[in-house]
Structure 1
Amino acid sequence: MNKASYIYDKKPGHLRPGEVHPEHFRMLIEASSIHSTKVILAMEDFLVRGIPRKISCETHGVSAGYISIALKRLQNLSYNVVMMYPYYAEEQSIIK
């Protein structure tokens, strides 16, 4: 396990390759600033289907460096969503 994956594994909301539900992935992409179709398809192959990052980059013609940056942004977004959840859950309980 490399240092980056160790750090992310310790954070709530960590997205594990091959274990992300397709709808969860789509919602995160919608909330993100990632717009490149190639990058989105490569990340979907990696996070949803579990295809190795190198192969998904080659398949969709995306550089490994750019995918790393986009994945970090998506990981951070996922973490922030998890950290905000209690505030929305509390708001829902007040409304009821």
Structure 2
Amino acid sequence: MGEPAGNAAAQLMAAEGLRRAAPADPEGCYLAGSARLTLALLEPPGPGRCRVLAAVPAACRDAVAIPGREAQSRRLAAALADQRRAQGCG
């Protein structure tokens, strides 16, 4: 299976590959957000999590949901927002 940080890093690399051609690609944005959430949760609570969450690409913050997976996209966006709020990220 692999360890969580390694898996998240590989997912982030795949997301960046998708986003190179289209910065707001819904699939790339979803993968980038998911990987960043995983990496943030592996950090101790506090500023470290904020740094990881702040790295979610700006083009992805308002990206459209992945067709057919709108509910998943909404849950991920809510989880990212919840973590930013809970950690006091600005």
Query: TM-score scaled to structure 1, two decimals?
Result: 0.29
User: Which one scores higher on RCO, CA 8 angstroms, separation ≥ 6?
Assistant: 1
Larger radius of gyration: 1
